[in-house]
Amino acid sequence: MADQLSYKGKAITRVGNELYYGNPQDSHVVFMQILSTEKVDGVEVPGKVHVQLLINDPSMPPRARIVRESDKNGLYNALDIGEIWLKRALSEK
């Protein structure tokens, strides 16, 4: 089951350790995969997160859809870079 959240006015859809950030009808979306977690005050929080800016075209091969990618420490850092990449990609239309 997917959790529906938002960050800076854009939707985040989470299924397990995978998150999609952005509007599914836009030309690009951000995909994040939580690679590790750590306990902070007894709560599991994301540690290492792999971030990819993807072209939102299912007819393209999966590897060809990747525009940018990076590994970040913490979900906030991953969301922050994803927001920057997505904003730039959508403004280049």
Give the torsion sign (CA, 58, 22, 83, 93): positive
Region of 14 (left: φ > 0; alpha: ψ -120 to 50; beta: rest) is beta
For residue 69, what pLDDT is reported? 97
For residue 93, what pLDDT is reported? 62
For residue 2, what pLDDT is reported? 60
Contact 51, 69 (CB under 8 A): yes
For residue 18, what pLDDT is reported? 95
> Domain coordinates of the chain in residue numbers?
3-91
For residue 77, what pLDDT is reported? 96
Q: What tokens does 62 get?
A: 């999966």
Task: Report the chain (93 residues): mean pLDDT per 10 consecutive residues.
Answer: 78 93 95 95 94 95 96 96 96 80
